[in-house]
Chain A
Amino acid sequence: MSEAFAWRAGGCHCGGVRFEVALPSRVEAQSCNCSMCAKTGFVHVIVPESRFRLTKGADRLAEYTFNTRVAKHLFCSECGIKSFYRPRSNPDGWSVNARCLDEVEGLEIVIEAFDGQNWEANGASLAHLSREHA
């Protein structure tokens, strides 16, 4: 992995679910207006599989699916926090909730609006975010 990435920790509120994600110093994040994201306030930081690891709480995660059931919405069964999930746009990667990072010092998060209400027209525009770099 490139040295440009630093592992950052985060998790849910009760501490039952913990993760680490490798991020550059500047990340693009998406704020989505779909019915699900609007209800959770999820701020998406999408990464490839290799840049995410669950460090605690696999047994604490509850899974919710709807519609196409491709996205696996995962939340802590204790405190309800959705700190990361498997997104429909990037089923080969992970989307981490920027709200759930422990520490954002030295991290520039640029939040863009994503029109998830028109997912079919826009979903593909995110596909590159989970691509593993050579």
Chain B
Amino acid sequence: MTRLAGQCHCGAVQASIEGIAAAELSLRACQCGFCRRHGAMSTSHPQARITIAAGEGALNRYRFGQKLSDFLICANCGSYVGSLAETDIGPIAILNVRGVDLPGFEGRAAEPMTYDGETPEARTERRKARWSPAELTAQPSRA
């Protein structure tokens, strides 16, 4: 099974996406003020599974705008790991390929995305169709 794994700079937070090969995963550069400042490059796929492993207190959760998802920041090194939303189909997430140095995307340009003007309902539906089912765990992931 295809599995791409990475971690934040200090290693306190580990992340992986499993089930879809890197070549089949999209790479998106959201143009909002938060993602631009982080230089974020996001990936996810509805048929892939994202796991984020972080010990207690290792993640800061930041919310802004419509406050529909948590943006996960390593409390120690400041790396932006990804975003996690609770929905009626369960928790879903994206990973910041840059922030956790996810392998398999080398040389690819991220596609600029803008989501301005989306209603909260439309945003959640888009994310449910595109983001990955996710688990946030305190257990270290497999190496």
Contacts and interface: CB of A to CB of B under 8 A. Distances in A.
Interface of A: 12-14, 35-36, 38-43, 62, 64, 66, 73, 75, 77-83, 97, 99-100
Interface residues of B, number: 26
B64 A14 contact: yes
23 contacts: A13-B64, A14-B64, A36-B9, A39-B8, A39-B79, A40-B78, A40-B80, A40-B98, A64-B10, A66-B9, A66-B10, A66-B77, A73-B78, A75-B73, A78-B60, A79-B34, A79-B64, A79-B73, A80-B38, A80-B62, A80-B78, A99-B37, A100-B37
Given A35-B9, A39-B79, A77 B38 contact: no
Nearest to A63: B78
A43 B71 CA distance: 21
B101 A38 contact: yes
Contacts of B62: 14, 78-80
B39 A80 contact: no
Contacts, number: 76
A41 B64 contact: no
A83 B78 contact: no
Contacts of A80: 38, 60, 62, 71, 73-74, 78-80
Interface string B78-118: 11100000000000000000111100000000000000000
Contacts of A14: 62, 64
A114 B38 CA distance: 19
Contact of B78 (A38, A43, A64, A99): A64
Is the contact region of chain B dominated by helix, strand, or loop, or is it mixed?
Answer: loop
A77 to B, nearest CB: 7
A42 B39 contact: yes
Nearest to A83: B37
Contacts of A36: 9
A12 B101 CA distance: 22
Given A38-B101, A39-B101, A77-B60, A97 B9 contact: no
B57 interface: no
Contacts of A64: 9-10, 76-78
A112 to B, nearest CB: 16
B36 interface: yes
B37 A81 contact: yes
B33 to A, nearest CB: 6
B76 A40 contact: no
Contacts of A97: 37
A15 B10 CA distance: 25
Contacts of B98: 38-41
Contacts of B8: 39
